[in-house]
Amino acid sequence: MALENRAIDTIIHRFKSREKNPPNLYFENGMLWADTDSEQDAEIIKQGLESVIINTCRVKVSKIQPTKQQPWSQYSFEVTALEGI
């Protein structure tokens, strides 16, 4: 939980330093989710998450397209181990 809170606080700070409103961010089952369809927002989030994880991990970003049941885009951010480690 400490990592999750630190990651979200760091990401929100990065948005505010750019005078942008952060999207809705939340962790579920160990994965960070963001309600946005902006590639620029996704990059800010990825950089913020990378800044709080150890250097033997990386962040895998996936875009989830809208559906009838969920008519908005989302990005997911999964922290994974670097290959070969």
**What is the residue-wise DSSP string for 20-58?**
-PPPEEEEETTEEEEE---HHHHHHHHHHHHTTS-TTEE
The pLDDT assigned to 56 comes to 87
Looking at the domain that runs over 2-81, which CATH code has it been given?
A: 3.30.70
List the chain domain ranges.
Answer: 2-81
The pLDDT assigned to 78 comes to 95
The pLDDT assigned to 82 comes to 85
The pLDDT assigned to 72 comes to 87
Q: What is the pTM of this model?
A: 0.88
The pLDDT assigned to 54 comes to 87
Question: Which DSSP letter does residue 1 get?
Answer: -
Give the length of the chain: 85
Mean pLDDT by 10 residues, the chain (85 residues): 92 97 95 95 97 91 92 93 73
The pLDDT assigned to 85 comes to 54
